[in-house]
């Protein structure tokens, strides 16, 4: 004999409501972090923005080199020479003069930073906010897109360093290509550091102490580049900065 199934109203005394969702039973799933997703269009945009930043960085470094030479001269030249040059301390430095003329490299770099995708901006902030060498390294490893971004952005300056290196070899053929390449890297590094320091200084002028600090930064870059070039030569690897040259 067939048995009729009891309804919810007969069992519980009231009609059943709607079925609960998984979120209501187990808790809502955590919302994705802002900018955690990145589309193909975002990747393409980020690469393009980085390429533009590198293109701005090359003339920015050369402007820094001009400003370095000008600042060192203004700070160390004898009074008689400064008077003969029309007292260069009475005029704006090269970097400030270029800025006043409308060549605002630092503003251009900051504007380009805002064009990155939300995901890349978030990654950049995590690395920038890290405090100390090890935390910064860890943040970069956790956000590998920042490493790729830095490498792409440096390509124009590497080409500028290669041009300086070739000029060194042309003027002093006995200089080993790996050493000339390192000198080129150091020169570009000093110029880039000088312009970055100047752009962050109130008044927009580079002091003699800051110029010397930028030169020290460039010297460190050159030493590291020389060590890397020497190791590459010992291992028989091709020269990257001065391709085709033999030590």
- How much is the pLDDT for 33? 46
Q: How confident is the model at residue 204 (pLDDT cuts 50, 70, 90)?
A: confident
Is 5 exposed, middle or buried (CB count within 10 Å of its CB: 0-12, 13-18, 19+)? exposed
**Residue 88: DSSP 8-state:** G
Q: What pLDDT is recorded for position 226?
A: 87
Binned at pLDDT 50, 70 and 90, residue 244 comes out as very low
Whole-number pLDDT of residue 11: 58
Residue 189's nearest CA partner among 60, 90, 76 is: 60
pLDDT at 57 over 80: yes
Tokens of 241: 């900065």
The pLDDT value given to residue 28: 56
User: How far out from the chain centre does Cα 244 lie?
Assistant: 28
Q: Tens digit of pLDDT for each residue in 114-141?
A: 999 999 999 999 999 999 889 999 999 9
Contact residues for 190 (Cβ-Cβ < 8 A; gap 6+):
64, 65, 68, 214, 215, 217, 218, 219, 221
Contacts of residue 106, Cβ cutoff 8 Å, sequence gap at least 6: 60, 195, 196, 199, 200
Mean pLDDT of the chain: 82
pLDDT of residue 228: 84
Residue-wise pLDDT for 14-50, tens only, equals 665 565 666 666 665 554 444 457 899 999 999 999 9
Mean pLDDT computed over 160-188:
90
Backbone angles phi, psi at 103, to 5 degrees: -90, 85
Spell out the residues 6+ positions from residue 172 whose beta carbon is closer than 8 angstroms to its own: 180
- DSSP designation for 89: G
Contacts of 42 (CB under 8 A, 6+ apart): 117, 119, 120
């Amino acid at each position: 004999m067939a048995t009729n199934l009891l309804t919810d109203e007969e069992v519980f005394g009231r009609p059943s409501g709607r079925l609960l969702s998984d979120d209501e039973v187990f808790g809502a799933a955590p919302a994705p972090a802002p900018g955690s997703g990145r589309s193909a269009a975002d990747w393409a945009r980020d690469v393009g923005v980085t390429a533009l930043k590198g293109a701005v960085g090359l003339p920015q470094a050369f402007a820094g080199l001009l400003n370095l030479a000008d600042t060192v001269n203004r700070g160390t030249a004898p009074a008689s020479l400064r008077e003969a040059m029309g007292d260069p301390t009475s005029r704006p430095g090269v970097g400030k003069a270029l800025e006043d003329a409308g060549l605002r490299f630092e503003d251009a770099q900051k504007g380009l930073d805002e064009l990155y995708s939300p995901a890349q901006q978030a990654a950049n902030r995590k690395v920038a906010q890290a405090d100390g060498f090890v935390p910064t390294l860890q943040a970069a490893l956790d956000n590998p897109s920042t490493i790729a971004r830095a490498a792409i952005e440096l390509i124009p300056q590497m080409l500028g360093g290669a041009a300086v290196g070739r000029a060194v070899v042309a003027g002093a053929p006995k200089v080993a290509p790996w050493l000339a390449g390192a000198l080129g890297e150091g020169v570009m590094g000093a110029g880039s550091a000088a312009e970055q320091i100047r752009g962050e200084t109130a008044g927009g002028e580079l002091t003699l102490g800051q110029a010397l600090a930028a030169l020290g930064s460039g010297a460190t870059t050159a030493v590291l580049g020389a060590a890397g070039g020497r190791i590459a030569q010992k291992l028989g690897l091709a020269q990257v900065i001065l391709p085709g040259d033999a030590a």
